[in-house]
């Protein structure tokens, strides 16, 4: 899920967990910022319809099977899956650790500036620069010392 460039990542075993994860995400957004979720773009997930109406969240529906209509999220997914496959292919990540590789990719995206904004998503979200002291090479026990 993307908020002001900040990517939130939730591991799920089943698609049926998405609704519960969205509710967790909503609580996190509203508790950590002064903002509210105003709209959700999705492919008409039935369990969301009543919840969105009850909570005043605008539903922006895309046609099922057309992920390209939700291009911002799809672009981020391609970026993340690229990071995950890089970790998997080049650093020998076991499939059981792929979720952790994707979590790492999300953290890296959130602390990286972009061409369109010199501020990182982390800075926008938290109001302060990110700490880089926890960064290390994937699979390495060594940390960067500054």
Question: pTM here?
Answer: 0.70
- Give the domain range for residue 98: 2-126
Q: What is the CATH number of the domain that holds 120?
A: 3.30.420.10
> Is the pLDDT reported for residue 79 higher than 60?
yes
Tell me the per-residue pLDDT of 3-23, one tens digit each, with 9 for 90 and over.
567 888 888 889 889 899 999
- Is residue 140 domain-resident? no
- Is residue 144 domain-resident? no
Specify the DSSP element, H or E, that contains 59: strand 58-61
Nearest C-alpha neighbor of 104 from the set 78, 139, 76, 133: 139
- Is residue 113 domain-resident? yes
SS3 110: helix
- Is residue 132 domain-resident? no
Name the domain count of the chain: 1
- Is residue 21 domain-resident? yes
Tell me the per-residue pLDDT of 30-65, one tens digit each, with 9 for 90 and over.
888 888 889 888 777 677 888 999 999 998 887 776
Nearest C-alpha neighbor of 105 from the set 128, 77, 73, 127: 77
- Is residue 78 domain-resident? yes
DSSP state of 131: P
- Is residue 139 domain-resident? no
- Is residue 135 domain-resident? no
Which residues, including other chains, have CB under 8 Å from residue 75's CB and lie 6 or more apart?
none
């Amino acid at each position: 899920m993307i908020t002001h460039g900040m990517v939130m990542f939730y591991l799920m075993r089943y698609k049926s967990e998405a609704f519960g994860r969205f509710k967790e995400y909503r609580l996190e957004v509203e508790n950590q910022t002064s903002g509210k979720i105003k709209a959700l773009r999705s492919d008409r997930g039935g369990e969301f319809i009543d919840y969105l109406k009850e909570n005043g969240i605008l539903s922006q529906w895309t046609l099922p099977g057309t992920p390209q209509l939700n291009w911002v999220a799809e672009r981020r997914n391609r970026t993340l899956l690229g990071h995950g496959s890089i970790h998997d292919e080049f650093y020998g990540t076991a499939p059981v650790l792929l979720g952790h590789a994707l979590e790492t990719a999300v953290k890296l995206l959130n602390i990286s500036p972009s061409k369109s904004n010199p501020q990182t998503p982390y800075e926008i979200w938290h109001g302060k620069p990110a700490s880089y002291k926890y960064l290390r090479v994937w699979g390495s026990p060594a940390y960067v010392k500054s």
